[in-house]
Chains A and B, each alone.
Chain A
Amino acid sequence: MRKTVLCALTGTLLFGATSTSALADFRERVSATALTTTDALIADVKAEIEFGREVAARILGKYPLSKDDALLRYVSLVGGSVARHSGRTELAYRFGVLETDDLNAYAAPGGYIFITRGALALMEDEAELAAVLAHEIAHVTQKHIVKELDIKGMQKSPEAGITHLLGGTGDPLRIAFAQAVDKAIDLLFSSGYKRQDEFEADRVGTLLAAQSGYDPLALQRYLERVSRIKGRQSAILTHTHPPFANRLAALRTLSDEEGLNAISAQNLKSRFVQHTRP
């Protein structure tokens, strides 16, 4: 199986390599300048954001972005309150509401996070919203898609730019890029993350919500409610995620190990209702 290698220039994208020659060709065009550790880290993050933008644009092509700016702002404030406590504060996280009654949430690399109107409608308080956003933020901080598709940054020569690299309709790099985005979309909407990645997002997200001051048991409450919903609304979620019973059991173990039941934290139901209920 040919592994997709996705590379990026500092600030611009390179998509390797449906063919090794394309990658070799690219590398010849790349400056041999040694990277400092910081430059290499920044190049990786830029590659991730460029890739995540494309995945986000595809998600927004599938579901409309809510036109309710006040709602978007509220969800962004809740998400931002959580993300600032994460281990990746170099990202500008964005939080969108998708107009569908499907119950789901999505994370694209680089910090593009989405929650559906259907999921919002099923939530009872702000802690549950924070918990679901924290789960999605955890997919980003743990770089699940980035690792799966091997997205990396690379120093570029000053003259190299995305137009140069991606010019021409037949450029294999651009085709490789499109294929990598296709894979990410397939992962989000069809095949799902690896099971261990979902369990990790539950764990890291729950601890992130706790760190932010939200009730760390809120994800369990929400998942228990979702698990009782049958049919089309929960079809994608059920198909792409491990069984609810397994996730809830793992979360209960985490709560015991970390002493989460004893933490005094906020649910903020009234603020949630005020901002999300017409």
Chain B
Amino acid sequence: MRPILIAFLLAVPLAGSAADTLFVQSIKAKIVAEPRFGAAVIAEVERGEELTALEEQGRWYRVGLGGQQGWVSRFVLADHPPLDRVTVLQGNEEEQLQGNARRRASTVTTAGAARGLTADERRRADDKGANYYALQRLEKLELTPEEIEAFAAQGLKR
């Protein structure tokens, strides 16, 4: 009983004027009936969905979507639309340009990409014991969203 009362007192209604807009960042997010994970699921929304923030309470926002209201974890929301995948590695630049079409081509040119070591990297490898070859091996193991989706679907029910 006491936690519920405290939670009620800590609830912060957002300013009475225009409500804030929040955007879903995670691939999916559940809207639940109460501000707790174990609560009944009202709806599921997808990445990029715009929600109206009505109230903030601890780890949760009360949000409106269409005619519905419910609670969403604050950890999957932000006040801006989700960014496209950001990378600093060469080879992904074309994809990145397509994703962030408003950006100038010149801003995509980067250093530290998966390739032969730069002079700085060689120096840091010698001075600091950094292992860029292992790093590049790890970076080459990138999985596609489809592979991850299929793996999750095999074992995880949500």
Q: Which residues of A contact B (CB under 8 A)?
A: 10-13, 36-39, 41-42, 45-46, 49-50, 53-54, 56-58, 60-62, 64-65, 69, 72-73, 76-78, 80-81, 84-92, 94, 96, 112, 126, 141, 155-156, 158, 161-163, 166, 174, 178, 181, 203-204, 207-208, 210-214, 216, 256-263, 266, 268, 271
Contact = CB atoms under 8 A, between A and B. Distances in A.
Given A72-B141, A73-B141, A90 B120 contact: no
A248 B76 CA distance: 24
A214 B109 CA distance: 39
Contact of B86 (A45, A87, A260): A45
Interface residues of B, number: 65
Contacts of B130: 54, 57-58, 60-61
B80 A37 contact: yes
A84 B106 CA distance: 29
Given A61-B125, A207-B37, A94 B86 contact: no
Interface string B106-127: 1111111000000011001100
A58 B156 contact: no
Given A42-B83, A53-B135, A216-B37, A84 B145 contact: yes
A265 to B, nearest CB: 8
Contact of B131 (A42, A61, A91, A207): A61
Contacts of A258: 36-38, 59
A87 B111 contact: no
A45 B103 CA distance: 14
Interface string B70-83: 00010111101011
Contacts of B77: 87
A127 to B, nearest CB: 10
B42 interface: no
Contacts of A50: 88, 110-112
Residue among A80, A96, A112 having the largest count of chain B Cβ atoms under 10 Å: A80
Given A58-B128, A87-B25, A156 B143 contact: no
Given A42-B103, A77-B143, A91-B86, A259 B37 contact: yes
Contact of A162 (B38, B111, B137, B147): B111
Given A42-B100, A56-B135, A84 B156 contact: no
Contact of B26 (A41, A45, A76, A211): A211
B85 A92 contact: yes
B155 interface: yes
A190 B47 CA distance: 38
25 contacts: A10-B107, A36-B102, A38-B100, A49-B87, A56-B138, A57-B121, A57-B134, A60-B131, A61-B128, A61-B129, A65-B138, A76-B143, A80-B148, A81-B148, A89-B26, A90-B82, A91-B86, A96-B134, A126-B155, A155-B107, A162-B112, A207-B37, A210-B37, A211-B29, A266-B155
